[in-house]
Amino acid sequence: MSIIIALCAACSLWFCTGMRIAVTSELPQNYTAYLHHFGLVGRRMRESPGMRLLREQAFWQRHASARKQNTRADARWTAAANHLFDATDDELKRMMGYKPLARKTHKAFSFVNLHSQNESIPAGIVLQEAVDWRKHVRASNKVRYQGSCGSCWAIAAGSALEMHAELAGYSVPGLQVNQLVGCVPNTRHCGGGGGCDGATAELAFQYAAEHGVAFEDDLKWDTKGGLCQKAPKRIISQGFERLTPNLALPLQYALAMKGPVVVSADASDWELYGGGVFDDCPKNAAVNHAVLAVGYGVSTSGKYWLIRNSWGKEWGEAGHIRILRFEDGSDGYCGTDYHPQEGVACDGETSPVPVCGMCGILMDSSYPIGVKVSDGVSQLRGANTLH
């Protein structure tokens, strides 16, 4: 008996150490080695000498920051090199694209079947300690890459629709995210014209309820969204639920009981992230990104929200980031977003907004409801999940 216990202690120790080594991946020794490792040599050679110099400087800056992070004794997360290591600030900005609606607009907007803003949480309910929706889906379990298009909002919303459809028992060959990028109207031009200029997941959910969204295979579509074209209605929803902003419990409840949820985030400091539980956003987060929360959990580095990003699989933990989650129900990590004007300039509404959670993760959350696949092609497999 004691031998078994000793063995298990040893293997769990080995497991932790193994994880640590895997996460603390070696940084490339120099810029040339980096370019070779990430297959960027040819692409960079086609750029101007000035641009190449700028990139090399960016590389060494991130290299130094990453080394510093990885020598911190108290760190919950580790930095790793990735394909964003020599990106310019401009390029990184385009890797986001969350443009919130003006707050006044939220109330006036005719959301399809918008449920109460206060999902009521039954008294005395005990939520699971950990949830990971990736384990309950197959076809829709994929990490996308937004490239230089500010389409995070479309990818997050499209992935949510896809996953909710699969969780409802439908087989889903893949949703045409570019239709959302090309067709979702942002008539108020709040901080951008929609499309690659950024928008919000709620607009995408509303579009899916009104028009439906096609499968990837239905039509060829320009990779950056392209112009809107007529498309078959495949994945449709009845609308969406918006969570009460800046509270942890409604998000935890929705993730435990309903499925993946699109959340807002400040991703300004995520480009070095290689693994672990990220805890380095200031309280005054500047929300600029939309991502898909696919669960939550507990680790030796702390509790976390499990987030699927749209920066490809090479980034973070196979395309995901774990964000520090505070003690259940505690929303104490709050500050002010002083830059909402980027998104709400349309209404001249430039006053700062309250923002809670590490990296502003609790500020703007929503998920689709009543998602269905509507045609003879896809068969109802029968509910096989927690719904």
Ligand X SMILES: *[C@@H]1O[C@H](CO)[C@@H](O)[C@H](O)[C@H]1NC(C)=O
Nearer to ligand X, 7 or 33 (CB): 33
Active-site position among 289, 346, 356, 359? 289
Nearer to ligand X, 244 or 378 (CB): 244
Closest CA to 312 of 302, 322, 321, 324: 321
Cβ atoms of 162 and 136 closer than 8 Å? no
Length of the chain in terms of residues written: 387
* Segment interacting with ligand X (CB under 6 A) among 26-34, 59-67, 200-208, 285-293: 26-34
Task: Kindly state the tokens that stand for 244.
Answer: 């009460």
Question: Minimal distance in Å, beta carbon 327 to ligand X?
Answer: 17
Residues 6+ apart with CB under 8 A from 210: 112
Distance CA 276, CA 81 (A): 14
Nearer to ligand X, 1 or 125 (CB): 125
In the list 12, 17, 118, 330, the residue contacting ligand X (rule: CB under 6 A) is: 118
In the list 7, 8, 22, 33, the residue contacting ligand X (rule: CB under 6 A) is: 33
* Segment interacting with ligand X (CB under 6 A) among 11-19, 28-36, 212-220, 341-349: 28-36
Nearer to ligand X, 48 or 120 (CB): 120
Per CB under 6 A, 65 contacts ligand X: no
Q: Which of residues 236-295 bind ligand X (CB under 6 A)?
A: 244
Distance CA 239, CA 252 (A): 20
Task: Kindly state the tokens that stand for 106.
Answer: 């939220």
Question: Minimal distance in Å, beta carbon 60 to ligand X?
Answer: 13
Per CB under 6 A, 29 contacts ligand X: yes
Residues 6+ apart with CB under 8 A from 317: 274, 275
Per CB under 6 A, 330 contacts ligand X: no
Could you list the beta-strand ranges (E) of the chain: 77-79, 131-132, 235-236, 239-242, 261-265, 273-278, 289-299, 302-308, 320-324, 334-337, 353-356, 366-369, 372-373
Nearer to ligand X, 83 or 188 (CB): 83
Question: Minimal distance in Å, beta carbon 273 to ligand X?
Answer: 23
- 346 a catalytic residue: no
* Segment interacting with ligand X (CB under 6 A) among 30-38, 47-55, 223-231, 323-331: 30-38
- For residues 205 to 244, the per-residue mask of contacts with ligand X, x marking binding by CB under 6 A and - elsewhere, is ---------------------------------------x
* Segment interacting with ligand X (CB under 6 A) among 25-33, 65-73, 152-160, 325-333: 25-33
Question: Minimal distance in Å, beta carbon 116 to ligand X?
Answer: 7
Nearer to ligand X, 2 or 116 (CB): 116
* Segment interacting with ligand X (CB under 6 A) among 29-37, 164-172, 255-263, 338-346: 29-37
Active-site position among 63, 82, 149, 152? 152
Alpha carbon 328 to its chain centroid, in Å, reads 21
In the list 12, 32, 61, 330, the residue contacting ligand X (rule: CB under 6 A) is: 32
Distance CA 173, CA 310 (A): 19
Per CB under 6 A, 30 contacts ligand X: yes
Nearer to ligand X, 218 or 331 (CB): 331
- 289 a catalytic residue: yes
Give the DSSP per-residue string, 70-87.
HH-TT-SEEE---TTTT-
Distance CA 240, CA 205 (A): 6
Half-sphere exposure of 259 (CA within 13 A, CB side): 27
Question: Minimal distance in Å, beta carbon 244 to ligand X?
Answer: 5
Distance CA 357, CA 200 (A): 19
Give me the residues paired with residue 315 across strands: none
Active-site position among 136, 309, 356, 359? 309
Closest CA to 153 of 212, 207, 198, 211: 198
Half-sphere exposure of 288 (CA within 13 A, CB side): 20
Footprint of ligand X (CB under 6 A): 29-30, 32-33, 117-118, 244
Residues marked active site are found at: 152, 289, 309
